[in-house]
Structure 1
Amino acid sequence: MEDITVSELKNRLDKREKFQFLDVREEWEYEEDNLGAMNIPLGELPHRISELEKFKDEEIVVHCRSGARSGNAKKFMESKGFSQVRNVLGGILAYRSL
């Protein structure tokens, strides 16, 4: 599935569109600044993937600080059968610079 730009994400959040939203940064990063996504740090994702099973066939937008960890999360989730995972290009850094 195509990745998502921070502009597209901002538009969708502003419109309060419904989609699953996942932040894979560390808990302390999430506590400092977050966009309201569910927080599962990338290192915990393999052990907590069952928390996302019910969303396996739904769109899941994943973000992190810069887009690298969320890219890895996307690849991992796709390997587990998740079909509609989108990475936020540039992460929260790019989002905050809009």
Structure 2
Amino acid sequence: MFGGYNFKEVDVDYLASVDLGSIHLLDVRTDAEVSRGVIDGAIHLPLHLLPMREHDIPKDKPVIIYCNSGARSAQACAFMAAKGYTNMHNLSGGIMAWMRAGKPLAALA
């Protein structure tokens, strides 16, 4: 729970095992951070634009949000939960945990 709003935490192993077609993977990092690589299948939506684009986030499947360390993505999950979304998941440790686990990065499509 963050800021009084409930959302789930997922770890790197869970994200690595899930079918990317069954989730919406959202990267809320800055353009500069994203230029260094993303988790394959991610859609880039910088955190500061989320309030203007929240309607683009699906409600019909799980949404996993990540940032560099998991802090900004937790804020994004709390924001979306406050807007009534019940399918928000934060990647614990963010892309840094992904890289520490030896998982690959991709270029943003």
Category of TM-score, reference length = shorter chain: 0.7 to 0.9
In structure 2, the partner of 1:22 is 26
Report the structure, 1 or 2, having the larger helix content.
Answer: 1
Question: Secondary structure, in 3 states, of the residue corresponding to 1:87?
Answer: strand
Q: Are 2:10 and 2:90, in contact at CA under 8 Å, matched by a contact in 1?
A: yes
The answer to whether the aligner puts 1:40 opposite 2:41 as a matched pair is no
Identity of aligned residues (%): 34
Deviation above 2 Å: which 4+ runs of structure 1?
none
Q: Are 1:57 and 1:83, in contact at CA under 8 Å, matched by a contact in 2?
A: no
1:38-80 superposed Cα distances (whole Å, 9 cap, x missing partner): 111111100111211xx12421000000000000000000011
Shift of 1:29: 1.1
* CA distance in structure 1 between the partners assigned to 2:21 and 2:60 by the alignment: 17
In structure 1, the partner of 2:13 is 7
TM-score (norm 1): 0.88
RMSD: 1.4
* CA distance in structure 2 between the partners assigned to 1:77 and 1:43 by the alignment: 13
Q: Aligned pair count?
A: 94
Gaps of 5+ in 1: none
